[in-house]
Structure 1
Amino acid sequence: MSRPSVPRRSVLRGAVGFGAAAGLGSLTACAPGATGSEPRKLTGTPSASVKGEITIWNRSGDLFKVFDAAIDEFRKAHPNVKVNHQAVDIDAKLANTLITGADLPDGSFWDDAKIGGQAEHLYDLTDLIEPYRKDTSPYKLSVNTVDGRIYGVPWDLDPGLLWYRVDLLEDAGVDPEGIATYDDLLDAARALKEKNHKAGPIHLEKDPFLGQLWLEMLANQQGTSLADADGKLRLDSKEYRTILNWVRTAVHDGLATHADYLKQGDLAALEDGRQALVPWAVWWSFAPQQLLKKTRGKWRATQLPAWTPGGARSGAMGGSSFIIPAKAKNPELAWLLYEFLCFKQPGYSAVYGPSSVYPGGLNTSVPSYTPARKADAPLFDPVAALGGQDLWKVTVDAAAAIPAAAPIPSWWAKSVDYLGNNVQRLMEGDMTPDDVIDDSARKIQRNLVDRA
């Protein structure tokens, strides 16, 4: 889940899409409505000699350049396929285009949070994904699944990590590897606060959307999410109460800084030592690499704490996949490209490995495909801004710990108006955990779930 305006390496959200083919070998498409309500399906893979042209949509920015270079590798492998790679405002354009069917790309990048709500307008890719299913992150498969069918090609995996200031923890006598549970995290914050009474060591997010995204990462650690596979709301649960009570304790004990992600106040608190513990996604690595000047080299990453001893040490925070519109002109070639980028060498190495855009490799996520996440074959280099830490190993270990999830409901982003805003009131001390759950659940059920 991500929002268009949220930075992640200046939003590090990508997009890819294409269009026009002939000679598609054994790949077949079932006509929509052929059996009543069955979705349109793709099966098989085109031959290596296939010819044609496709249009692929991506977001502008650094990631567009990364995929542009990776698509050059695809062209080498498939010289008879022309790829028109276009930078598009996907969030403003794609949903309406899917509905109207006019001027569609053959494929596009899209946020996981938006795929489930548009499944009827997308190709069913279940049969094509099947050979890669056992080697793909269960989390990524689950968020791309609707009614047992897969509608997105899983791309990136965004594990949660615990980011910390190594110098401040050493000064306070805190061993970061000893922070095994969220209670341990509170104790670490207390030790830091004893050294600096002005500190609120733990970052709590002030942006309602990102705050809810963060909440879902912590819920995913416990094997739950805002809705189950049938779309039933499950906010009123032990797992969410555990998280919200932990937040209340952090606020009540003065152990947190409530700030907007990487905005001026947040950066100042990170630089001057008031914040030293940031439970956040892998894409926070953007901060020490690009934004934190005084403390560059002093930050490290480790596994998130667990909610219970022996529990999962990571959860997913955000993520993106690739979709093929059901009315695309050349969906077979779009699949050929996405298969190359996500499941084949040199495709995924071209995306994540060293490039002219990122000389050390793209280190703000990892592939969802397990064979691409070999601990002994890192796709990106150790990160100088993290004191030369091997972030690849930390991140792939975290990725392996992410529990499976349910498809993200189509109304998720709208629920921020209720849950996301109420979580902010909890962080400000104006609501209790029970207030947040009761008010949010009632309004989400009435205004979103029932209407959906």
Structure 2
Amino acid sequence: MTISRRALLAAGAGVGLLTACGSNTGRGDGSGAGPKLSQWYHQYGEAGTEQAVKRYAAAYKKAEVTVQWRPGNYDQQTAAALLTESGPDVFEGGPTLDQIQGGQVVDLTDLLEGVKDDFNPAVLTPKTYDGKIWGIPQVIDMQLLYYRKSLLKDAGVEPPTTLDALVDAARKLTTKKVKGLFLGNDGGAGVLGGTPLYAAGLQLVTEDGKVGFDDPAAALALAKIYQLYADKSLLLGAPTDWSDPSAFLQGLTAMQWSGLWALPQVQKELGDDFGVLPFPKDGSGSPAVPVGAFGAAVSARSKHKEAASDFVKWLWVERADYQEDFALSYGFHIPARISLAKKADKLKTGAAAEAVRFTTDHGYAQPLLWTPASQTAYQDALSRIIKSGANPESELRTVVRKVSAELDRVKKKS
């Protein structure tokens, strides 16, 4: 099984435990040219990524770094390994709130001294807890709205910049053969998450750790998502889901919510006959762009914590060439460093440049305090609202109570 970086942007999944994990860590006793470090990655779907990260590791001269490519349920494997002496020194992950609160990862704040402001705050903030940085963002994935220029023009529809306009456009673009919008085969319940809330000027969790959508504007926004379903404007039952642009490319839908990774394929097949937009604003809110980034973290159980931290700094802070290569040579992603995103040739023009601007101006990531329990409560309610027409106000009241209790629980642990 392979997993691409786009998996970051799907609904947040809980981190569980396995009863066992691999013991071949590559660690040694620190003899020879330097300490032996083990570095874990999840198994990417993009061809060439594994060879690239092994090449980076081989170029490091202060330690012998062994890369492990981990198939299967990577999150569970990592969670289990961090509780043992046989886990990785450096690993790719959130890290999660539980890992931070449990003292399982090393404080990496000093690694970003002098360059912290160059990391996109949307993806750095979820790596920050109690004023300290626990993971260094590697690369940014983001979602955006693709639309077919010719289909909108033929229907006399302008690219929608508000949620009301999106509902109206999807209705007008729907014909016997083409649906107006594709948000995934479940109507958007899985992929949208908190995006409509952010577009309405709200948040999942406020900066002071409280529920960020206990507001009438939340119900109004989600009611409009239901309206898309009720109008039969949404494509459902497509051969592939939202992360794949096939439905859009085959003309099954005039607009599709997908990811930046789809851009090269869309551009190759449609040429100039497409445009991209952030999720449209609602009411007094602003456009919203969900982003995500794996972070490089250091295990607190590592026997070589200082050496592991030095390696992370070398790869994800100092080696700008490797960071750009990792982002743009294997799939299509945005470097986590703002300066690199601005100067990368592949991101300077057209839809790619717009995507970078959307991310910088409107990007948001799920907050660290947004736990799997909160995610499940909210997503289940969103599914009932979209597919069953459940009352948004009553559904959200229940979610607010559950999330508030969950936030109280995790804050007590800090």
Give the TM-score category using the shorter length: 0.7 to 0.9
Q: Residues of 1 paired with 2:161 and 2:370: CA distance? A: 34
1:278–1:242: structure 2 CA closer, same or farther, 3 Å change rule? farther
1:215 to 193, 205, 208: 193
Cα distance change of structure 1 residues 298 and 345 upon mapping to structure 2, 3 Å threshold: closer
Q: Structure 1, unaligned stretches of length 5 or more? A: 24-49, 383-388
Distance 1:301 1:414 in 2: 36
**The one of 181, 184, 200 aligned to 1:202:** 181
| Cα distance in 1 between the residues matched to 2:385 and 2:338 | 38
**Distance change >3 Å, CA 10–CA 142, structure 1 → 2:** closer
The yes-or-no answer on 1:402 pairing with 2:362 is: yes
Shift of 1:244: 0.5
Return the match for 2:232 from 235, 254, 257: 254
Corresponding residue of 1:62: 45
Cα distance in 2, alignment partners of residues 104 and 287 from structure 1:
38
Q: Which amino acid aligns with 1:87?
A: W
Q: Which residue of 2 aligns with 1:28?
A: none
- Superposed CA RMSD in Å reads 3.8
Name 1:414's counterpart in structure 2. Answer: 373
**C-alpha spacing 1:377/1:443, structure 2 compared with 1 (3 Å):** closer
**Counterpart in the other structure of 2:341:** 373
CA apart distance, 1:62 = 3.5
Aligned-partner residue type, residue 304 of structure 2: N
Where do residues 385-400 of structure 1 align in structure 2 (5 Å cutoff)? Answer: 390-400=350-360
- 1:312-349 CA deviation, whole Å, 9 max, x = no partner? 44422433211111121223333333334433322212
Please say if 1:327 is aligned against 2:301.
Answer: yes
- Provide Cα deviations, 1:284-319, integer angstroms capped at 9, x if missing partner: 4487599xxxx7658734221441589644422433
Gaps of 5+ in 2: 11-24
The residue number in structure 2 matching 1:95 is: 79
Paired with 1:259 and 1:336, the residues of 2 have a C-alpha distance of 48
- Once residues 64 and 129 of structure 1 are traced to their aligned partners in structure 2, the CA distance between those partners, rounded to angstroms, is 30
CA apart distance, 1:396: 1.2
Partner of 1:386: none
Map 1:7-86 onto structure 2 (within 5 A): 51-63=34-46, 65-76=48-59, 78-86=60-68
Report the counterpart of residue 140 of structure 1 in structure 2.
Answer: 123
Go from structure 1 to structure 2 and tell me whether the alpha carbon gap of 1:132 and 1:20 turns closer, same or farther (over 3 Å shift): farther
CA contact (8 A) 1:160 1:315 kept: yes
Mapped to 1, the partners of 2:8 and 2:239 lie a distance apart of: 12
2: CA distance, partners of 1:228 / 1:330: 36
Offset of 1:151 from its aligned partner? 0.8
Distance in 1 of aligned mates of 2:393 and 2:265 = 34
Find the residue that maps to 1:62 and give its secondary structure: coil
Aligned-partner Cα distance in 2 for 1:310–1:451: 32
Alignment equivalent of 1:174, drawn from 129, 148, 157 = 157
Residue identity matched to 2:227: T
Q: 1:261 to 1:312 in 2, by over 3 A?
A: farther
Amino acid in structure 2 at the alignment position of 1:370? I
One-letter amino acid of the counterpart of residue 85, structure 1: V
Change (3 A) 1:156 1:332: same
In structure 1, give the amino acid aligned to 2:181: I
CA–CA distance in structure 2, aligned partners of residues 20 and 220 of structure 1: 47
Deviation at 1:103, TM superposition (A): 0.7
> Does 2:164 match 1:190?
no
Match of 1:121 among 89, 104, 117: 104
Structure 1 residues 427 and 296, CA gap change in structure 2 (3 angstroms): same
1:425 maps to 2:376: no
In 2: Cα distance, 1:160 partner to 1:240 partner: 21
1:224 to partner: Cα distance:
4.1
Deviation digits for residues 203-225 of structure 1, max 9, x if unmatched? 234559x7355222343455643
Cα pair distance change 1:340/1:63, threshold 3 Å: farther
Determine if contact 1:58/1:87 at 8 Å carries over to the other structure: yes
Cα displacement (A) at 1:227: 2.2
Q: 1:117 to 1:410 in 2, by over 3 A?
A: farther
Name the TM-score, length of structure 2 as normaliser: 0.79
Equivalence for 1:26 = none
Conserved? CA contact 2:109–2:134, under 8 Å: yes
- 2:143 corresponds in structure 1 to 160
Q: In 2, distance between residues paired with 1:273 and 1:250? A: 19
Give 1:84 deviation, angstroms.
0.5
